[in-house]
Amino acid sequence: MDLVQACPDTVCRQAIGCNGVFPCPAIYMNLGDTLTVTFTNNLLQPTSVHWHGILQLNSVEMDGAGIITQCEIKPGASFTYTFTPAQSGTYWYHSHSSTQYVDGLRGSLVIFNPANTFVYQYQSLVELYDWYHSPTSVLLPAYLASLTGDEPVPESILLNGVGQFGCTTCPYSQIQVPQNSVIRLRLVNQAAMAIISFSIDGHQLTVIEVDGVEVNPATFDVVRLNAAQRYSVLVTANQPVGTYLMRAEMDPTVFASPPVNPMALGNFVVVAGNVPVSPTPVVTQPLLTPVVLSGNPIIPPTITNPLAIPFIESPTVLSPLVPNPPPPSTTTYPVELTFAPSILHAGANRGFLNGIHFTPPVTPVASFLEYIRANVPLPIGVNSRTFNLNEVVDIYLFNNDPGEHPFHLHGHTFWVIGMGNIDDGPYQGQPLNLVAPVVRDTASVNANSWLVLRIRFNNPGVWAFHCHIDWHLENGLLLVAVVSPRDVRRRLGTPPALQVCP
């Protein structure tokens, strides 16, 4: 991990790269492979790397949540992550220390399953994220000192690491597809905050995967992704040979003021004959490598009424392809999200879950996982709750805020069994979807509304549950789920004393 010079949208700034490259590379592996990655921290601050969506069954110590599951990697030090995922699909990795992933420490992780369910001839990644021209070392302190709580507004948006800011001949990312072939696009929203809508002119998108879970296919004109969410879509190149625009657009209503450049464009090129491909472990679906072309004029959008994916309005829309009905719940856990001025922070706006602002130790003595191993209470200020192994819990999340929030749970997926509309207020006993709800690891709660998640806590460990707007994570919207601490100690052992960070 290094500081590098990056100019992804023609504006240059210092960013975080991997092996001297920005953006950080994607990682590809097969189901059943063991992944081993060593990160050497050449930054000036401690870091950690989380593998978003990887369940880490019996490997909580590899989750990569700084302070929670590991001591952070100090400048000049190295840490090796090694694990064998028992899952396939589209995931990503990113720093879980401060706001480093906003500065560039992020990349995609794709786990191929040779036993493909769906038929397609090609596949490609589509990485989407908001981009700031100032480093977060400037933006974060200003945000945390703000009395209004207005989040930093990104200047731009990137599609596969390329954006167009303040110019009419900026380069585009390009994907070439043979005419009448089917390509799988793996969409990954790696944004700090932006909700991004993705579309391709003249083509429809058939969703087949949600956060690593294969789903019954559903076709849309536009796919809407909140921060940290992923979708795989099949696109049939059934239009005449030519160039069609890929459009990635931020929802401007998310921000206090609209972004200067809310859209990134790319070229989806339908060609006659074959196209060059990159090597991939799955030889039947070659991996197309996006290339960058220059000299493309900015073209206004042609889609004026994008469709938002209906997550759970119908029991058949985006339901798991392999039936996975939720078990009966035994416990309810209400969680209320609020923002309010904090006396302890000079009146600045702070985030609270159930009235608790998550405050990590200023100088971490040990990771929270080590506290659990040593059977020592977690530090004061840690918002936590303990669950029994295989306990089935309904989390009733009430968002008492005029903004939408994507929530992610480490180490687990959940059933999204209920979701209120904007301004519905708290849950009032509305019917829940227990037939075939969406299963995912990151779900959005609407503004001034509610969300019900059913979770089977079947993975012993200490797991973060937090808003994936990175500014909000740093502002206290995190709680810790401690699952079966006895089983954690049984697997990892009980040290004679608390193992402190080096």
Q: Assess whether pLDDT exceeds 60 at residue 47.
A: yes
Encode burial over 332-361: b for 16+ CB neighbours within 10 A, e otherwise.
ebebebbbeebeeeeebbbbbbeeebbebe
d(CA 456, CA 484): 12
Which segments within 302-346 are labelled E, that is strand? 331-341
Q: Assess whether pLDDT exceeds 90 at residue 315.
A: no
Counting beta carbons within 10 angstroms of the beta carbon of residue 394, is it exposed (0 to 12), middle (13 to 18) or buried (19 or more)?
buried
d(CA 331, CA 452): 12
pLDDT for position 291: 53
- Percentage of the chain beyond pLDDT 90 is 83
Residues 6+ apart with CB under 8 A from 458: 389, 390, 412, 483
Q: Assess whether pLDDT exceeds 60 at residue 32.
A: yes
pLDDT band at residue 276 using 50, 70 and 90 as cut-offs: low
User: Across the chain, what does the average pLDDT equal?
Assistant: 91
pLDDT for position 98: 97
Q: Assess whether pLDDT exceeds 80 at residue 314.
A: no
Domain 2-293: which CATH number of 3.40.50.720, 2.60.40.420, 2.60.120.650, 3.40.50.300 = 2.60.40.420
pLDDT band at residue 286 using 50, 70 and 90 as cut-offs: low
- Half-sphere exposure of residue 197: CA atoms within 13 angstroms, side-chain side: 21
Each residue of 189-205: pLDDT tens digit?
Answer: 999 999 999 999 999 99
Predicted structure pTM score: 0.94
Domain 331-492: which CATH number of 3.30.365.10, 1.10.10.10, 2.102.10.10, 2.60.40.420 = 2.60.40.420
Token code pair at residue 15: 């960013």
d(CA 226, CA 241): 32
pLDDT band at residue 403 using 50, 70 and 90 as cut-offs: very high
Whether omega for the bond prior to residue 23 falls within 30 degrees of 0, making it cis, is yes
d(CA 435, CA 76): 51
pLDDT for position 260: 87
Each residue of 453-494: pLDDT tens digit?
Answer: 999 999 999 999 999 999 999 999 999 999 999 999 999 999
pLDDT for position 299: 43
DSSP state of 19: T
Mean pLDDT over residues 139-162, rounded? 96
Q: What angle do CA 484, 487, 492 make, to 5 degrees?
A: 130
Q: Assess whether pLDDT exceeds 80 at residue 246.
A: yes
Residue 214: count of CB within 10 angstroms of its CB = 19
d(CA 439, CA 328): 15
Token code pair at residue 316: 């058949």
Counting beta carbons within 10 angstroms of the beta carbon of residue 433, is it exposed (0 to 12), middle (13 to 18) or buried (19 or more)?
buried
Q: What angle do CA 87, 368, 375 make, to 5 degrees?
A: 110
**Sheet hosting strand 384-387, strand order edge to edge:** 384-387, 478-483, 461-467, 405-409, 442-445
Domain boundaries, the chain: 2-293, 331-492
Place of tokens 């625009």: 245
Q: Assess whether pLDDT exceeds 70 at residue 284.
A: no
